[in-house]
Chains A and B, each alone.
Chain A
C-alpha cells in the first residue's frame, strides 16, 4: 500500500507542476535561509576553531563604569586590572590575557599589507587550540624576555613570504618592528574577535606601559574553567574579586560593572545594554527576540504552505468522493494524503539543504567575511525539516481528514469548498 501511495504521490506531483513548484520553492527557500543564518550564527558563537573548548570558557572584555551624574563609560580593560584581579583567580584552570587586534601596516616590497596584530601572553596558546601548520607557539620565557617572535596565520605567510611552508625563522616586519616567525597557524575567522589575528606577538613587546594602574585599556581575558560544570564557580569567584577593585575616583564614579561571560552572553551584554542598562547579560531578552524573529520569518512561508495545501486538497474534493464511492475508508484517504505531504516536504527539505550548501560555499568563497568557512548545521536541518513536515502534515491531513468524513456525494459535489 505504501508503495502505491508513493507512486501516486509522485504522479500527482508530476501532473501538478505549478503547485509542486510553488510548494517546493517555498519549503526549500525558507529552509535555505534558515540554514544559512544559523550557520553564520553558529559560526560566530559556536564552539569552533580555535575556541573549541568554548563550553569551558568565559570572557572578560568590557568594563562598564556608572558615574554618579548618571553617565556611563564602556571600555576595554587595562592589563593591570586583568593581571592583578583576574589572573590570580583560583577556580579557573587557566587565564589568558591578550590585547584587542588592530590593523597595522606592513610592507612587502612596495605593496602595503594591512595585518591585524594582537599581543598575547603565553597562556593564550594553551587556552585556545590553534592548529600549527609549522613551528610552535611562543612560551612563557619568550614573553618574560619580551622576545621579538611571532605566530602568523597561513594567509599572512602566503602574502608576506609568498609561501606557506618553511617560513619559520624568517623575519616579518610589523609596526616597524622585526619579529622572527616562530609558528604558522590555520586562519582564524574574523568573527572570533577574542582570538582572531593575522599576527600574534608577546604581550611584553607592546609599546603600552602594562603596569600602569588604571581601569581602561586595550585588553581582554579568556578564562578556561576546569570543566563546563565549573563555569558558574569561576564566574562567582570572578564577581567576588571584582568587588575588591578600588574605584579610582570615588567622588565621580558610582560603581564598576565587570563580568566573566560566556561568548554569547558577552555579545548580548553589549548588544542589549540599551534595554537592560547593564543590569544583566540580556540573554533573557535576546533569546526570545531571536526566536521571535525566526518564527516571524517562518510564519509567512508556513501560512503559504498551509494555504496551498488546503486549497489543493479542496480542489481534490471530487477525487476524495470518487475514492470513497469505490471503497476507500477515511483512514486510507488520510494516509494517502499523509504520504503525499511527507513525500513533498522531504523533497523540499533535500532541495533546501542543497541550496543552503551551495549558498554557504558561495559565501565562504567570497571575501565578504575574512577567513569565514561556514558549515551546515545538521541538527538545525533536522529540526527545521521536522517543523516543515509538521506544517505539511497538519495542513495536508487536517483538511483531508475533514473531507474524508463527508458523505461521498458531498465530496463529489465539492462541498468541501
Chain B
C-alpha cells in the first residue's frame, strides 16, 4: 500500500492494473520450512524471500521435491512456516488465530490442488458451493447462483448434479477450479493444475486461468512442469533444493 502512495503521482492516468502491479499481494520474508520425521529432518524451504504483486500471474518451476508445493501451501495458509513471516495484502498473518486464518482463506484465497481434492460425497454443485458455505449471512439462493456462475465459466453447467466419481479427470479439475473461483478470491494458488491432464485439457485450463488473470485481475501463482505453460505467464520463478534460483 505504501509503495502505491509514494509512486502514485508518477503513475497518474495509468490503467488500474498497472497501478495494482506495484502493490505486494503475497510477501514471504525469510521463510523457512523444516519437516521432521522420525529420524530425518528435511529442509523444504530455506530462507525464501519472495514478493508476488497484485494482479501478477507467476509460474513456479523446479525439479520434484524442491519445495514448490510447500511454498504454495504456505502462501495459501494451509501450513505454518518453521520460521519467517508471511504477509497477505499487507498484513502479517503468521500470528493469526484459527478464525482469522479461516477468514483469509475463505475470502482472499482459492486453492487448486494437483489431485483435485473434491469431496466425493457431494455433488458437483455442492462441491463448488463449499467456500460460500462458510460466508456468514449468504443465503442458500445466492450460494447456488454464484456456484452456477462459476460452473458456467468452466463449461460444466450441465454437470451440476453429477458426483465427482462420474466425471473425467479434466472435468474434475474444472470443478476444482470452479470451486476456487466461486468465492471470487483475489488470489488463486494452483499446484500443478494440469499435471494429471492431457495437453488439450491442459491448454483449456491454462486459457481459463489466463482469462481470469486478465479480465478480473486475479493474482495467480501456479506450479507447473510444463515450460510452454510457464512461458505464457508474466513471471517465471525457478526453485532448486528449497531456494529460489531465478
Contact = CB atoms under 8 A, between A and B. Distances in A.
Bound together: yes
B133 interface: yes
B167 interface: no
Given A11-B121, A318-B117, A408-B79, A329 B133 contact: no
Nearest to A326: B131
A319 B120 CA distance: 9
A372 B77 CA distance: 66
A324 B133 CA distance: 12
B78 A412 contact: yes
A12 B106 contact: no
A321 B121 CA distance: 15
B91 interface: no
Contacts of B102: 324, 327-329, 332
B106 A326 contact: yes
Given A323-B130, A326-B131, A327-B102, A11 B122 contact: yes
Nearest to A336: B133
Nearest to B74: A409
Interface in A175-196: none
Contact of A326 (B80, B121, B130): B130
Interface residues of A, number: 25
A4 B144 CA distance: 12
Given A326-B111, A327-B102, A327-B106, A408 B78 contact: yes
B121 A16 contact: yes
Interface string B137-169: 000100000000000000000000000000000
Interface in B87-140: 98-99, 102-103, 105-107, 110-111, 113, 117-122, 126, 130-131, 133-135, 140
Interface string A11-23: 1100110000000
Interface in A288-334: 318-319, 321-332
B76 interface: yes
Contacts of A330: 98
A327 B111 contact: no
A326 B179 contact: yes
A332 B117 contact: no
A366 interface: no
A324 B77 CA distance: 10
A4 B102 CA distance: 19
A407 interface: yes
A328 B79 contact: no
B73 interface: yes
B242 interface: no
A412 B103 contact: no
Contact of A327 (B79, B105, B117): B105
B183 interface: yes
A323 B127 CA distance: 10
A319 B78 CA distance: 14
B103 A327 contact: yes
B99 A329 contact: yes
Given A4-B140, A407-B78, A408-B79, A328 B134 contact: yes
A16 B163 CA distance: 13
B121 A327 contact: no
Contacts of B79: 407-410
A15 B183 CA distance: 26
A277 to B, nearest CB: 61
Contacts of B121: 11-12, 15-16, 319
B109 to A, nearest CB: 8
Contacts of A323: 130, 134
A322 B105 contact: no
A331 B106 CA distance: 15
Given A12-B121, A327-B106, A329-B98, A322 B130 contact: yes
Contacts of A331: 99
Interface of B: 73, 76-80, 98-99, 102-103, 105-107, 110-111, 113, 117-122, 126, 130-131, 133-135, 140, 179, 183
Kindly list the 8 A-B residue pairs having the minimum CB-CB distance in the complex, ordered from nearest: A327-B106, A408-B78, A327-B134, A326-B131, A329-B102, A15-B121, A409-B79, A409-B78
